[in-house]
Chains A and B, each alone.
Chain A
Amino acid sequence: MTAASTTDTASGTKMETHKDRQARIYGAVLLGLAVLVAGVFALDTAGDATFRLSRPRDPWVVPDLVVPAAPFNFFVAAVLALLGLRQFMRGGFKWSTVSIATGFAIAVAAFLVWATAGKSFSLTGMLSATVVAAVPIALGGLAGVLSERVAVVNIAIEGMLLAGAFTGALMGSLLGGWGGLLCAVLVGGMFGFILAALVVTYRMDQIIAGVVITLFVIGVTSYVSSQVFSEYRFLNNAPVFRAWKIPLLGDIPMIGPVLFNQNLFVYGALILVCAATYYLFHTRYGLRARSVGEHPRAADTLGINVYRTRYINVTLAGMVAGFGGAWFTLGSVGRFDENMTGGLGYIGLAAMIFGRWHPVGALMAALIFGFADSLQQKLAIVRTPIPSEFLAMAPYFATIIVVAGFVGRSRPPAADGKPYVKE
Chain B
Amino acid sequence: MDVELRGITKRFGPVTANDNVNLTIRAGEVLGLLGENGAGKSTMMNILSGLYSPDEGQILIDGKPVDFEGPGDGIAAGIGMVHQHFMLVPVFTVAENVILGVEPTGRLDYLDLKTARAQVRDINDKYGLEVDPDALIEELPVGIQQRVEIIKVLFRSAEVLILDEPTAVLTPQEVEDFFGIVKSLRDAGKAIVFITHKLHEILEIADRINVLRGGRITGEGDPKSLTEQQLAEMMVGRPVSFDVQKAPFKPGETLLEARDLVVLNDNDDIAVDRASFHIRSGEVVGIAGVQGNGQSELIETLTGLMHAASGSVSFLGKDVTHASARERHRMGMAHVPEDRHKSGMIANFTIYENMVLNTYYEDRFSSGPSIKWPEVLKTAAKYSVDFDVRTPSIYLKAGNLSGGNQQKMVVARELERETKLVIASQPTRGLDVGSIEYIHKRLMEARDEGDGVLIVSSELDEIMSLSDRILVMFEGRIVAEFDTAAGPVDKNAVGLAMAGVHA
Contact = CB atoms under 8 A, between A and B. Distances in A.
Interface of A: 1-7, 9-10, 13-19, 278, 282-288, 290-291, 294-295, 297-304, 414, 423
B89 A295 contact: yes
A304 B101 contact: yes
B225 to A, nearest CB: 37
B13 interface: no
A148 to B, nearest CB: 14
B111 A283 contact: yes
B268 A298 contact: no
Contact of B293 (A3, A5, A288, A290): A3
Given A3-B294, A288-B101, 14 more contacts: A3-B475, A4-B476, A5-B269, A9-B476, A9-B477, A10-B274, A15-B310, A282-B110, A287-B92, A290-B92, A294-B92, A301-B87, A302-B75, A303-B76
A10 B90 contact: no
Contact of A423 (B46, B262, B309, B477): B46
16 contacts: A3-B273, A3-B476, A3-B477, A4-B269, A9-B477, A10-B262, A10-B309, A17-B264, A283-B110, A286-B111, A288-B100, A298-B87, A298-B89, A299-B101, A302-B75, A302-B102
Interface of B: 46, 49, 51-52, 70-72, 75-76, 81, 83, 87-92, 96, 99-103, 105, 108-111, 139-142, 260, 262, 264-265, 267-274, 292-294, 309-310, 475-477
What 8 A-B pairs have minimum CB-CB distances, sorted nearest first?
A303-B72, A3-B476, A4-B269, A302-B101, A298-B87, A4-B270, A284-B103, A283-B109
B101 A295 contact: no
Contact of A301 (B81, B142, B476): B81
Nearest to A298: B87
Nearest to B103: A284
A286 B89 CA distance: 14
A283 B100 contact: no
A247 to B, nearest CB: 27
A7 B51 contact: no
A7 B52 CA distance: 45
In this complex, which of A2, A9, A291, A423 has the most chain B Cβ atoms within 10 angstroms of its Cβ?
A2
Contact of B71 (A9, A294, A301): A301
Nearest to A21: B268
Nearest to A302: B101
Given A17-B268, A287-B96, A9 B88 contact: no
A46 to B, nearest CB: 48
Contact of B273 (A10, A19, A285): A10
Contact of B264 (A15, A278, A286): A15
Contacts of A291: 89, 92, 100
B91 to A, nearest CB: 6
B25 to A, nearest CB: 19
In this complex, which of A3, A291, A304 has the most chain B Cβ atoms within 10 angstroms of its Cβ?
A3
Contacts of B101: 288, 299, 302-304
B268 A7 contact: no
A291 B101 CA distance: 10
Contacts of B269: 2-5
A285 B109 contact: yes
Contacts of B91: 294, 414
A51 to B, nearest CB: 43
Contacts of A13: 260, 262, 309-310
Nearest to B49: A301
A237 B27 CA distance: 74
Contact of A284 (B51, B72, B105, B293): B105
A295 B101 CA distance: 13
Nearest to B104: A284
B17 to A, nearest CB: 12
B92 A297 contact: no
Contacts of A10: 262, 270, 273-274, 309-310
In this complex, which of A282, A286, A414 has the most chain B Cβ atoms within 10 angstroms of its Cβ?
A282
A287 B100 contact: yes
Nearest to B311: A13
B262 A15 contact: yes
Given A283-B108, A294-B91, A301-B51, A2 B96 contact: no
Contacts of A5: 269
Contacts of B90: 294-295, 414
In this complex, which of B89, B262, B309, B476 has the most chain A Cβ atoms within 10 angstroms of its Cβ?
B89
A298 B109 contact: no
A288 B102 CA distance: 10
B270 A9 contact: yes
B70 A284 contact: no
Contacts of B475: 3, 6-7
Contacts of A301: 49, 51, 71, 81, 83, 87
Contacts of B49: 301
In this complex, which of A15, A299, A302, A414 has the most chain B Cβ atoms within 10 angstroms of its Cβ?
A302
B234 to A, nearest CB: 28
B75 A284 contact: no
A43 B246 CA distance: 82
A352 to B, nearest CB: 17
A19 B267 CA distance: 9
A413 to B, nearest CB: 9
B108 A9 contact: no
Nearest to B308: A15
A304 B267 CA distance: 32
A325 B140 CA distance: 44
A303 B273 contact: no
A290 B93 CA distance: 13
A13 B142 CA distance: 31
A177 to B, nearest CB: 30
Contacts of A14: 310
Contacts of B265: 2
Contact of B100 (A9, A16, A302): A302
Contacts of A303: 70-72, 75-76, 101
B262 to A, nearest CB: 5
B476 A7 contact: yes
Nearest to A304: B101
Contacts of A19: 268
A13 to B, nearest CB: 5
Contacts of A414: 90-91
A413 B83 CA distance: 22
A284 B108 CA distance: 10
In this complex, which of A5, A285, A291, A423 has the most chain B Cβ atoms within 10 angstroms of its Cβ?
A291
A7 B89 contact: no
A307 to B, nearest CB: 12
B169 to A, nearest CB: 11
Contacts of B99: 287
A94 B70 CA distance: 50
Contacts of B51: 301, 423
B56 to A, nearest CB: 19
Nearest to B88: A298
B89 A300 contact: no
Contacts of A298: 87-89, 100
A70 B142 CA distance: 61
Nearest to A6: B475
Given A15-B309, A283-B111, A298-B87, A7 B75 contact: no
A295 B87 contact: yes
A2 B262 contact: no
Nearest to A2: B269
A400 to B, nearest CB: 25
Nearest to A9: B273
Nearest to A300: B71
Contacts of A278: 108
A299 B97 CA distance: 10
Contact of B267 (A2, A285, A302): A2
Nearest to B101: A302
Contact of A295 (B88, B140, B293, B309): B88
A298 B88 CA distance: 6
Contact of B52 (A2, A300, A302, A423): A423
B270 A302 contact: no
